[in-house]
Amino acid sequence: MMDTHSHIYGPEFDEDRDQVVARAREAGVERVLLPNINSDTVEPMLALCRRYPDYCLPMMGLHPEDVRTDYAGVLSSMRELLQQPAHPYIAIGEVGLDFYWDQTFRTEQLGAFEQQLCWAFDLDLPLVIHCRAAHCELVEVMERHRAEHLRGIFHCFGGTVEEAQQLLSFPGFVLGIGGVLTYKKSTLPEVLRNVPLERVVVETDAPYLAPVPHRGKRNESAFVADTLQRLAEVYGITLSEADKVTTDTAKRLFSLP
């Protein structure tokens, strides 16, 4: 079992981070993948990876909600980190578009996203893509890069069958499924019945979106087991089968042993 998207390096875990990692291991989580957010999160993320080498693995990227007018300078600094010999980053993430709360930096978000897509191509790294209230714009940008055969995860997918089909028309990509799958009114179970299990991975997005029975609490990587259990039920297979398929997909995507 793998948590393909977790922010347990964040301040929400400062009081009990070691216990959070211990609980994840006890739950059967064999790796925790850490998307970056902005310049300030790089060092806390790397510190966690140094503390748990080969267990916590870092990504590099600028989250769309953190894109401002100075994004070019921020991206330049991040690109320098990716150019260092033997850098530890396994993916470009968390990147994407988010027009849900505010579209003040819409143009900047589009520019930052496109630039980071180019990084993924240049460095042959997978992408972890965030999209909220920006599906059409996201697909439009992705279409311009279709010939580059990019790969990655559309993180925290919660859309329709049609949106899933559009995203999965990019053959190197899979859907990241988190705690929302377990919610009583979630439409994801019906959507996923139209999606091959091989195009799905599981994630927590800790500390956000904790699955049932932890809904409303701080999410953590151990809780990916609850999402995986629900995923197995949706596909009508055993937990071990769901575990093997989703873990194998994640390992292949991130080139992990």
pLDDT tens-digit readout, 148-166: 999 999 999 999 999 999 9
pLDDT in tens, 23-75: 999 999 999 999 999 999 999 999 999 999 999 999 999 999 999 999 999 99
Average pLDDT, the chain: 97
List, as one string, the DSSP characters of 125-154. --EEEEEES-HHHHHHHHHHTGGG---EEE
CA-based end-to-end distance of the chain:
14
Do residues 3 and 250 lie in contact, with contact meaning Cβ atoms separated by under 8 Å?
A: no
Please report, for residues 37, 176, 192, the alpha-carbon distance to residue 201 in angstroms, rounded to integers and kept in the order given: 21, 5, 12
pTM for the model stands at: 0.97
Closest CA to 1 of 25, 30, 21: 30
Phi, psi for residue 162 in degrees, rounded to 5: -65, -40
Percent of the chain residues past pLDDT 70, beyond the cut: 100
Report d(CA 254, CA 127) in Å as an integer: 9
pLDDT in tens, 76-106: 999 999 999 999 999 999 999 999 998 999 9
